[in-house]
A and B are shown apart, each in its own frame.
Chain A
Amino acid sequence: MSTQAAFAAALLDPQRPCPDGLFSANGADPASRFAVYRNNVQSSLINALADSYPVVLQLVGDEFFRAMAGLYVQSYPPQGPLINDYGKDFSEFIDSFEPAASVPYLADMARLERLRVQAYHAADAQPLRHEQIAAALSDPQALSELTVGFHPSLNLLTSAFAVVAIWAAHQQDATLAGIDLGHGQNALVLRNDLEVEVFAIDHGACTFIQNLRLGQPLAQALETAPDFDLSQTLALLISHNVITHLHHKVSP
């Protein structure tokens, strides 16, 4: 094993001894100094996860979170130098992490928080002005064939738990009293100007938006969506500035 291979392996695995070939000028045990590097690597990566998943941390507490994140770091160290991206699949790790099973909505909270990070750093795009949208929507003939382009930050999450309500509670006093935790919710995540926003939307609205994202024109997107309030959903998308394109689908 090369010097750096041995060094890297020992950094990530606390069970491994300090690598050979190291010394301290004062004769101190090199392991006591290697521990500084090991701690820097472990704690900086755990801190990066704590920054990205603040509500997951609140839900399980600091000690549990750091232990769980530490195991994730050891098994799945970053595969590149962009730490903003680190921990993309933390939710899948949580899914299979037995000790977290008593908090069944924890993995979905991680999914929601990951979408928030992605929305925060997503590409910029100019939303259509409200009057442009009004003009496009005013032609009932063309309406059904209209396709909608969304801001790159927009994303959806369907959860079997009240993930939006739980997230919102942790922006306030963190009490879950009054929340029906097992009531599934659909989350709409978007960035409105510089702020990332999260909304709970109907299942029908979620299906409709997902259909639009797949490029279906309005009429087709509506067909397969369960009942929902269309005008309210459009108003939400328009007022939060996430419609960036409206095109009339050219008939074949």
Chain B
Amino acid sequence: MNPLLSGLPPRSGLGLKTEHFREVLGAQPDIGFFEVHAENYMVAGGPFHHFLGLIREQYPLSLHGVGLSIGAEGPLDSQHLQRLAALIERYQPQSFSEHLAWSSHGPVFLNDLLPLAYDAPTLNRVCEHIDQVQSTLKRPMLLENPATYLAFQRSTIDEADFISEVIRRTGCGLLLDVNNVYVSCINHQRDPLAYIDALPLHAVGEIHLAGFAEDTDSLGDRLLIDDHGAPIDNAVWVLYRQVLERVGPIATLIERDNQLPVFSVLHAEARQADELLHCAGGRS
């Protein structure tokens, strides 16, 4: 892993949930790092900053944005970018990441990670936006591959090639979300491992693992939904091992945002990832 892209340790980490603030501080569990959604901490004061400040003193931190809308047709929200810069200045996270997606149109924020048409104009726009992010924040960012449910007839570039070209042009890193790979590949009838092998794996700075929900489309085919509301699926664990064989041990987040279980359940998943990371380290 390129240490310039992410300073996170090659361990498993957990999303920091407000429900777990006091337990984390009290028990000080052996967790490699914590990750927070940047937008949740764009508040003036109060318990969120109080607890994050204390937890940051003891753990490495990954700051994960969910509202920058890097793929939007319009310009980036410069005020939002300044808020991100201020958070980074305050908490000095080891990593900052955002999504290959859009979530705002004009002033309207849609609160979801929406899909992009992969063509030359989108490629140019995404690269310009990432250049702007990296020059404003004065650090490289990691870009997360999306989970998608639909494709655009307009698209002329394969998603993995699109991501490779963004990374080549901007020098950003890759946040490889293995669950998103699996979800998208099932939804678009692709081979997950072939997709992973088409990505620029040298640029992976962090890995995400999560659970998905399962639905069916109009043909009755499996339609997987990236809802972060279930334990990690066995198929995703298998794919994760194959990723580690290729990239070695890299900071891995267990994401859980819905149907939140007690902390010990999440910690058990983190330990499972840590064992695989340990094995991957022994091999490299």
Contacts and interface: CB of A to CB of B under 8 A. Distances in A.
Contact of A124 (B49, B150, B154, B190): B49
A26 interface: yes
A34 B217 CA distance: 10
Nearest to B185: A25
Nearest to A21: B153
What is the interface residue range for chain A against chain B? 35 or more
Interface in A14-29: 21-29
Given A81-B77, A121-B44, A3 B154 contact: yes
Contacts of B217: 24, 26, 28-29, 32-33
A34 B150 contact: yes
Contact of B223 (A23, A33, A44, A120): A33
Interface in A133-175: 152-153
Contacts of B26: none
Nearest to A40: B112
Contact of B109 (A28, A30, A77, A120): A77
Interface in B73-91: 73, 77, 80
B225 A79 contact: no
Contacts of B108: 8, 12, 77-79
Nearest to B47: A194
Nearest to B65: A81
A162 B219 CA distance: 54
Contacts of B50: 124, 194
A31 interface: yes
A235 interface: no
Contacts of A34: 149-150
Interface of B: 39-40, 42-50, 66-69, 72-73, 77, 80, 102-105, 107-112, 114-115, 117, 149-154, 187-190, 215, 217-219, 221, 223, 225
Interface of A: 2-5, 7-8, 11-12, 21-34, 36-37, 40-41, 44-45, 48, 77-84, 119-125, 152-153, 191, 194
